[in-house]
Amino acid sequence: MGGNIQGATDHATGIVNTLVSNGTTAAGILTDILGGATGAIGGVTGGVGGDSPLGTVTDIIGGLTGGATGSNPLGTVTDIIGGVTGGTAGSNPIGVVTDIVGSLTGGVTGTGGTDVISNLLGGVTGNLGGVSYTVSNVTDTVHTLVPQSLLTDHFLNISVHTV
């Protein structure tokens, strides 16, 4: 078997040189990336001895919580909630709602709203009376056209024949 050992060695050396060259380039790229990343981290944390760019965030959080001084910038929100619930003073802005419910149910005394409900129910049952009156008129009309005795005799006649 014959082979060109020198040619194969030259090719292998070329491949190794390319890998080393590319590896050096790759290492340089990684160093640049890591340098950029550490620079970015230093920018966020303020680096060694620098001011903290996170100070803005902590200032915002301090503003929301009142910071070390104890002032409360959320006082507006708590004032709104206190207004809805009546706060510690005991005033009741929801009284309007409870007054409406009290007038519907009659409140604790038991007068008032139940009359409204019973009147509504009376109107409904009164309307049902009108419906039953109408049904009665229809059955009276049928009995006028076909006497009830014929309907009953016919029904009994059919029932006896089917048994």
pLDDT digits over 45-90, tens only?
555 555 566 666 666 666 555 555 556 666 666 666 665 555 555 5
Q: Which two tokens stand for residue 85?
A: 């619930």
Query: What's the distance, CA 87 to chain centroid?
Result: 28
**Secondary structure letter of residue 51 according to DSSP:** P
Based on the domain organization, do 155 and 139 belong to the same domain? yes
- The answer to whether residue 110 is domain-embedded is yes
Q: Give residue 88's domain range.
A: 55-93
pLDDT digits over 135-163, tens only?
666 666 655 665 666 666 666 666 666 65
Alpha carbons 83 and 93: distance in angstroms, whole number:
7
- The answer to whether residue 150 is domain-embedded is yes
Q: What pTM, to 2 d.p., does this model score?
A: 0.19
Among residues 44, 73, 93, the one where a domain terminates is 93
- The answer to whether residue 1 is domain-embedded is no
- The answer to whether residue 42 is domain-embedded is no
- Cite the DSSP H helix spans in 66-145: 75-85, 95-105, 113-145
Based on the domain organization, do 159 and 113 belong to the same domain? yes
Alpha carbons 138 and 147: distance in angstroms, whole number:
14
Alpha carbons 115 and 83: distance in angstroms, whole number:
34
